[in-house]
């Protein structure tokens, strides 16, 4: 019988006054590859961080091999700038002069290996050469890029490369498929299978629909307790139902009263003609001509690094190169005297990058309320009507128990629900939702899709929706734009 690799004996974790993990017993044997599943907020990431030694816990965690090396690929990762601090901001990646304040991918990697090992195909002490790992993850084309300019999926690949260069005995992957395109997910499945073949123990936190072939065992957490842990063949993903405040006639009427707006009079929400964006020799968008008319619902797709975030940044007034191009927003040419705040007032927006750089010290209530003013934080008193609107969205997204908690105290899925409420609260003429379901469990995703469809139908909202998963796209979406290498693919 295989020997024990890792044991949890009566492990409990309490953060603040909230019990997150409750008396967990768990054994991983040598050669077993485990996946942890469960709904948003069930304690999966806290468990991973506890195993890494980042949370105080009661009980005992035992590694049965002395000197066991552990690495983790986080769900969210904050890069440091050249000064060694995390003082980065969301729009920084779109400002060429400020993007230089972060190191390149190559400079990040040489911190983990001698520079010669990165530049040449020299072997590392591991089972594969350095370049074999990096090429499997398609890192070579990224080496000269500033970290701040990486797409969400590219960022994920770099983090996985760093973890592998640390040559871990146990590799913890916290939702590694988030933000990856179809090819990227397929590649990661192959990498995970290869890691298992090379003898690395894996602890994967993932959705039940994303379990690689190498996974041998599955455990499920709900409210900090195991509801299942056994071999993968015996695991039956539960049909997750979500008790939500339904958007019935009464709720819709209240929403219409609190969120009424002047009738949309613009003809085109977005109109671009032969738009080109580049940073030095790097071309991000080329010859983009695209029009989004009032009330249309679009899906924007494309592989990681195709230019989707750059395209959206031209609409959300976050990219200064918009002024050098022929771009019209809400029937008004960019640079004709409008302010950034006039543009943002008409747009509800969420993205993985905005999530990453948001103020984590703000409470759930403050984050949602800040969407009324398009600020990162709440800096003014609310009227009674505005407060009622915040409370309505808290109820619609089942966030009542989180109202007073700070963003940093929430799970990634709960944080995303709060930021989605922030994007929706002012009921803008246009919603731009970039991977909005990233980090949500299946029940949350299903509810959110339905909610967006109902809102678009009730208010005639214009929608631009980005997702790598076809099943996450609301049924109301009927127009499609695909980018590849910065160009529109017909």
Give helix then strand counts, H and E, for the chain: 15, 19
Select from 156, 145, 45 the least CA-distant residue to 103.
145
Cα gap 38→44, rounded to integer Å: 7
> What value does the mean pLDDT of the chain take?
86
> How is the chain split into domains, by residue range?
4-234, 249-489
Cβ–Cβ < 8 Å for 462, 266 = no
Q: How many CA atoms are closer than 13 Å to the CA of 48, on its beta-carbon side?
A: 25
Cβ–Cβ < 8 Å for 255, 454 = no
Contacts 24+ apart (CB under 8 A), 48-51: 48/72, 48/172, 48/174, 48/203, 48/205, 50/11, 50/13, 50/21, 51/6, 51/8, 51/172, 51/203
Q: At CA 155, angle to CA 81 and CA 47, rounded to 5?
A: 95
Model pLDDT, residue 257: 75
Order across the sheet with 282-293: list the strands.
282-293, 268-279, 326-329, 332-333
* Sign, CA torsion 284/290/291/292: negative
Please indicate whether the domains covering 4-234 and 249-489 agree at the CATH topology level.
Answer: yes
**Coil vs helix vs strand at 289:** strand
Ramachandran category for residue 356: left, alpha or beta (phi over 0 → left; psi -120 to 50 → alpha):
alpha
Cβ–Cβ < 8 Å for 306, 466 = no
Which residues does the chain have with pLDDT short of 70? 1, 76-101, 113-130, 240-249
Model pLDDT, residue 187: 84
**Coil vs helix vs strand at 306:** coil
Model pLDDT, residue 62: 95
Cα gap 154→156, rounded to integer Å: 5
Residue 264 CB: number of other CB atoms within 10 A? Answer: 18
Please tell me the pTM assigned to this model: 0.87
Cα gap 303→88, rounded to integer Å: 25
Cα gap 11→51, rounded to integer Å: 10
CATH class of residue range 249-489: alpha beta
Order across the sheet with 170-174: list the strands.
70-73, 170-174, 201-205, 34-37, 217-222, 225-231
Tokens of 341: 């705040």
% of the chain residues with pLDDT over 90: 53
Interior/surface letters 186-225, b for 16+ CB within 10 angstroms, e for the rest: ebbbebbbbbbeeebbbbbbbbbebbbebbbbbbbbbebe
Select from 416, 429, 220, 202 the least CA-distant residue to 315.
429
Q: Where are the beta strands (DSSP E) in 435-490?
A: 462-466, 479-484, 487-489
CATH class of residue range 4-234: alpha beta
DSSP string, 170-234: EEEEESTTTT--HHHHHHHHHHHHHHHHTT-EEEEE--TT---TT--EEEEEETTEEEEEEEGGG
Q: What is the pLDDT of residues 52-62, one digit of tens each?
A: 999 999 999 99
Q: What is the pLDDT of residues 216-270, one digit of tens each?
A: 999 999 999 999 999 999 999 887 655 554 566 677 777 777 777 778 899 999 9
Cα gap 119→162, rounded to integer Å: 15
């Amino acid at each position: 019988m295989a020997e024990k690799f890792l044991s949890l004996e009566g492990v409990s974790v309490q953060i603040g006054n909230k019990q997150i993990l409750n008396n967990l017993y768990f054994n991983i044997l040598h050669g077993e590859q485990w996946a942890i599943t469960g709904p948003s907020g069930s304690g999966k990431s806290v468990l991973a961080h506890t195993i890494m030694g980042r949370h105080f816990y009661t009980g005992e965690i035992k590694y049965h091999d002395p000197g066991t090396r552990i690495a983790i690929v986080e769900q969210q990762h904050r890069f440091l700038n050249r000064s060694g601090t995390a003082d980065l901001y969301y729009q920084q990646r779109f400002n060429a002069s400020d993007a230089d304040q972060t190191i390149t991918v190559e400079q990040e990697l040489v911190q983990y290996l001698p520079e010669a090992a990165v530049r040449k195909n020299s072997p590392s002490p591991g089972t594969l050469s350095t370049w074999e790992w990096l090429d499997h993850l398609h890192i070579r084309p990224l080496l000269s890029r500033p970290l701040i300019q990486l797409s969400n999926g590219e960022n994920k690949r770099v983090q996985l490369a760093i973890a592998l260069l640390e040559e871990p005995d146990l590799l913890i992957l916290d939702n590694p498929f988030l933000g990856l395109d179809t090819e990227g997910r397929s590649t990661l499945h192959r990498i995970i299978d290869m890691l298992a073949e090379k003898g690395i123990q894996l602890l994967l936190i993932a959705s039940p629909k994303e379990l690689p072939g190498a996974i041998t065992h599955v455990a499920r957490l709900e409210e900090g307790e195991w509801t299942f842990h056994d071999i993968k063949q015996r695991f039956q993903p539960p049909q997750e139902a979500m008790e939500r405040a339904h958007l019935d006639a009464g709720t819709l009427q209240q929403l219409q009263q609190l969120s009424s707006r002047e009738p949309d009079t613009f003809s085109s929400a977005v109109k671009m003609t032969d738009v080109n964006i580049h940073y030095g020799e790097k071309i991000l968008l080329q010859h983009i001509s695209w029009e989004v008319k009032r009330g249309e619902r679009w899906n924007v797709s494309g592989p990681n690094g195709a230019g989707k975030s750059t395209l959206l940044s031209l609409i959300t007034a976050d990219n200064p190169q918009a002024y050098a191009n022929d771009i019209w927003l809400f029937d008004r040419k960019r640079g004709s005297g409008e302010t950034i705040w006039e543009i943002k007032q008409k747009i509800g927006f969420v993205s993985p990058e905005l999530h990453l750089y948001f103020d984590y010290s703000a409470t759930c209530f403050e984050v949602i309320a800040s969407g009324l003013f398009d600020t990162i934080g709440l800096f003014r008193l609310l009227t009674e009507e505005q407060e009622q609107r915040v409370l309505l969205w808290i109820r619609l997204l089942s966030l009542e128990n989180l109202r007073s908690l700070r963003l940093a105290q929430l799970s990634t899925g709960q944080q995303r629900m709060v930021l989605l409420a922030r994007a929706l609260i002012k009921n803008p003429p246009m919603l731009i939702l970039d991977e909005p379901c990233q980090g949500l469990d299946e029940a949350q995703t299903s509810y959110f899709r339905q909610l967006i469809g109902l809102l678009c139908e009730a208010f005639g909202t214009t929608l631009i929706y980005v997702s790598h998963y076809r099943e996450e796209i609301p049924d109301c979406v009927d127009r499609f734009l695909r980018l590849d290498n910065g160009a529109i693919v017909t």
